[in-house]
């Protein structure tokens, strides 16, 4: 097995080499590289490896840039310290990932997946899913809104987004609800939905954008819908629309 290792931390690279040799005694490490620039140059001058271990955060940027600058033909196993929820897009088809520090058992599992997916003839090998890579890159680089400005009488203050339990619209106004108070904000729900992290907030219907922390209870409701009991709110309209129920369940089950 001919392997290229892309890792900008020397100790992490050495540990990965050690674990690989223990798991696959016949592994051949073609190179250990630490930057987007060096990887692009190497790929342009050498035959494709059989497998690439690719750190996401490199010395000169995110490794996703490599796919825009070089012809990457080998399957990828990403290595990363990012939270698991931010990289679910990798866990499909030819893409896999390992969280740092790498666990030997997880490495063996990833290698086994590689063998199962890429042990067949060349024409049957699945290709890299560039759409998923682009989606993951957006997740990694996107900056979410950190706070909202609110007016209280003659005073102006800020509310951290992480303190928001949910957002809702009522009487042509939009509100931000915290543990103990609600505030009017100058945004429509459609705007807020684009500004906050979809891992944390889910748009259950036209009226509510909720966080998991806000949900006290979930009750099956008529017409295949779900009714939510929210903290500090007893509105009967906190109902997950029928067309959003499946996505809502997936959002819960992460």
Distances (CA, A) of 59 to 8, 62, 80, 136, 170: 6, 8, 14, 19, 48
Q: What is the pLDDT of residue 92?
A: 40
Domain count, the chain: 2
Residues 168 and 242 in one domain: yes
Give 87-146 pLDDT, tens digit per residue: 554 554 346 778 888 999 999 999 998 888 776 544 445 555 566 666 666 666 667 889
Residues 189 and 131 in one domain: no
Residues 67 and 166 in one domain: no
Residues 130 and 20 in one domain: yes
Residues 82 and 131 in one domain: yes
Whole-model pTM?
Answer: 0.55
Q: How far apart are CA 203 and CA 243, in angstroms?
A: 12
- Final residue before a domain boundary, out of 141, 161, 192: 141
Average of per-residue pLDDT across 39-58: 93
- Final residue before a domain boundary, out of 110, 141, 172: 141
- CATH assignment at residue 110: 3.40.50.2300
- CATH assignment at residue 233: 2.40.50.1020
Average of per-residue pLDDT across 32-42: 95
Q: How far apart are CA 47 and CA 224, in angstroms?
A: 54
Residues 80 and 177 in one domain: no
CA 188 to chain centre: 25
pLDDT at 74 over 80: yes
Residues 204 and 186 in one domain: yes
Tokens of 120: 């067949």
User: Percent of the chain at pLDDT above 90?
Assistant: 53
pLDDT band at 232 (very low <50, low <70, confident <90, very high): confident
pLDDT at 23 over 60: yes
Residues 172 and 222 in one domain: yes
Give 174-205 pLDDT, tens digit per residue: 999 998 899 999 999 999 998 998 889 999 99
Note down the domain range covering 122: 2-141
Q: What is the pLDDT of residue 233?
A: 74
Q: What is the pLDDT of residue 124?
A: 46
Residues 77 and 25 in one domain: yes
Residues 61 and 14 in one domain: yes
């Amino acid at each position: 097995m001919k392997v290229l290792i892309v890792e900008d931390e020397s100790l992490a690279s050495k540990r990965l080499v050690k674990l690989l040799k223990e798991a696959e005694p016949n592994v051949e490490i073609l190179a250990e590289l630490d930057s987007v620039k060096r990887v692009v140059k190497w790929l342009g001058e050498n035959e494709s490896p059989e497998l690439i271990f690719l750190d996401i955060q490199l010395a000169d940027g995110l490794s996703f840039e490599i796919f825009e600058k070089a012809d990457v033909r080998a399957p990828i196993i990403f290595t990363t310290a990012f939270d698991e929820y931010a990289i679910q897009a990798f866990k499909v088809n030819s893409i896999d990932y390992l969280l740092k520090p790498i666990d030997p058992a997880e490495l063996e599992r990833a290698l086994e997946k590689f063998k199962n997916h890429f042990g067949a003839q060349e024409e049957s090998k699945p290709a890299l899913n560039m759409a998923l890579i682009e989606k993951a890159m957006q997740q990694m680089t996107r900056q979410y809104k950190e706070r909202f400005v609110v007016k209280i009488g003659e005073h102006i203050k800020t509310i951290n987004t992480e303190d928001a339990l949910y957002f809702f619209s009522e009487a042509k106004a939009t509100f931000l609800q915290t543990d103990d108070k609600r505030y009017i904000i100058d945004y429509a729900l459609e705007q807020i939905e684009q500004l906050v992290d979809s891992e944390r907030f889910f748009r259950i219907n036209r009226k509510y954008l909720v966080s998991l922390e806000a949900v006290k209870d979930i009750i099956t409701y008529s017409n295949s819908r779900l009714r939510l009991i929210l903290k500090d709110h007893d509105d009967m309209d906190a109902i997950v629309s029928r067309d959003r129920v499946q996505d809502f369940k997936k959002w819960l089950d992460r």
